Structures are given as C-alpha cells and as structure tokens.
Structure 1
C-alpha cells in the first residue's frame, strides 16, 4: 500500500501547481515504495519538462523531439535513488546505472530507460536532443544554468531551424529564464517531503 507521505508527494498541488506524473510512473513509484522526496523531485523536474517541451515545440517546431520520451525521462531520471536513498540528500552517481537497470527489470524499454543513465552525461558523444532536454529540465528546475549544456541545445536548435545561433540562444534563454523564476518554490515543495518515511506513517 502507498504510504501517506508518498501519496502526499504524488498528489499535493504545489505552488505553483505542478503537473501530475504520468500514470505509469505513479504506479511504478508506488510499487517500488519510493521515498517521498524522490517523488516530489521527479514531479518538479517533470513539471519543468512539460513547460520546456511546450515552449520549445512552439518556438522551434522543426526540432523533431520526442516529447513523450522527454516527459517520461524527466519523470524517472532519478529513479535509481530508490536503491540509493543517500543520494537524495548528498552527492553520488550510483543511482544512474542502478536506475537504468531497475527500469529495464520493470519492463521499461531501453529507449525510455536510458534517461536514468544519460541525464547526468549530456556532455558525452551520442547524447541526443531528447537526452539534452531531460538534462536541461533537471538543471533549470532549481534555477541552475549550465552554459555548456545550453550551448549544445542551441547547436541542435540552429541545425534544425537554420536560425542564427544568437537568435536561437536568445529564444532558449527567454524560455529558461521564465522556468527558473519559480525555482525557489519548487525547491520548497521538494524540501517539504521527507527523504524517509516518518515513524508511524502507516500505509493507505
């Protein structure tokens, strides 16, 4: 059964209101008894990915991203922290490989499971535009701007659209500035949910 704390993390509206996770991801997190803070984090990053992909599709319709894949990737990128909960409150990368393997064991196709492995390795050769967008959402949800990552996205945008790099940069910068504006409230939403279940938090 789903604990009260996990249920709250999955359903609390947030401020500003956060988009709900995909049903299949909710079922997966419930089945894995995910830490509440992990669920809250995945909701925050997924919410940013929803707005990011909407804005990118509107301004750069030629890009050819797989929006549903990006959203699934954002909603599951840190799922390996189910197995490495210490990385919810401290540094570590063990969750990346673990999350990829966990998703595969749960029957998720490699084309979607890969984001658990690639979200922190956007700088490596072979990262596709969908991988870059998941990585971007995982940074900007907390207001973090990573110039090298954003430059890679700008390069993909200019190739797809034929725009001058400066124009693509300005458009992307505007999108990211708008998303970063709510980062403090997203961070507060995440912090409001415990890393571990509190004693007496009975299942429901």
Structure 2
C-alpha cells in the first residue's frame, strides 16, 4: 500500500519541478481523483463514475511530500503491527474498507468546496483495528471487563486527542470526518475478521 501512495506523489512531484510531463498534472490529479463533497450535492462530475471512484482514489493522493511522509511513517508502523497477526489480503481489506469508510463519513458530514486527499482515513482505520485487537488479546482472567473497556476507550480518546492536535497545527485544515469514518470502519473490520495470531501481552501488577 505504501508504493501505491508513494508512486503517484513521486510522479506529481517530478511534474511540479518540470522533470516530466507538466506542472498541470497535480491540479488535474486532484480534479479527477480527489474527494469532492460537492459531487454528492449536485456538482457536475468530470466523468460519469467519478462520484463513486473518488471514495477510493482520494486515499492514494497527497498534498505534497510532507503530507505523504507523515502518512507513510504511520502506515509503516501500523502496517507491521497488522501483518504480525493477519495476512496481506486481510491487511489490504482493512485498509480499503477504512478508506471507503473515511470517504463516506466525509461525504455525509462535509459540504466543503475544497478537495480532500490523503491516506489518513485508511491509516486511522488500521489504528482502530489495532486498538480492538489489543483489547481482545488482554487475558480475560487478569483484567475485569470494565478495565478492559476503559483501556479501549482510553485508546480511542488518544485518537481524538491526536486529531485535535493535528487540527490545531494545521489551522483547522483537517478532514477529521475522514479520520472518524476510517477509525469506525477499522473497528468494525477488526471485530469481523477471524482471529489469527494474537499478540501476548505481559500484565504488570
């Protein structure tokens, strides 16, 4: 999944500097591949199925190298965690489901005229799935259900805090709706996938 995000940005960055193609490639990529909430509210699409394809294509475009690097670092860490217990096919399934969930929630909650791009919805989905699995892996005899639930809620609260910090650092230019939808879809997918290789945790008294 890293390659599918890195390659488009490398091509667009090369075009930005005039090494290949044209500097117009980036705005064209956003025009045809970004998520435009207006397409769900009467805007005219550039091609017939754009209101459908944008639910996925937005996750493979980024606003620039810094946006890409931040997302890919998070993807590398979370991806390794996921692959420790699930196979590549299941990892891709969670990633795509979270990207679609992020796009869907953004479309439902946002009427912004600004295009939305980035893999962060899918990445937050991986984080949500990992939280669920950590909760499931806790030895049930050592922790009460209430404490296990509190740990899960604490992890979810941590994701909320991360979003608030990112929103502040980016002066409000953050598609929090995408993160919310991706997280919820990741949580749902983690609950539906069959158990694979649980991560054994040491409980300290």
Could you say whether these structures have the same fold, taking a TM-score greater than 0.5 normalized by the shorter chain as the test?
A: no
Greater Cα radius of gyration, structure 1 or 2: 2
TM-score, length of structure 2 as denominator length: 0.33
Choose between structure 1 and 2: higher helix proportion: 2
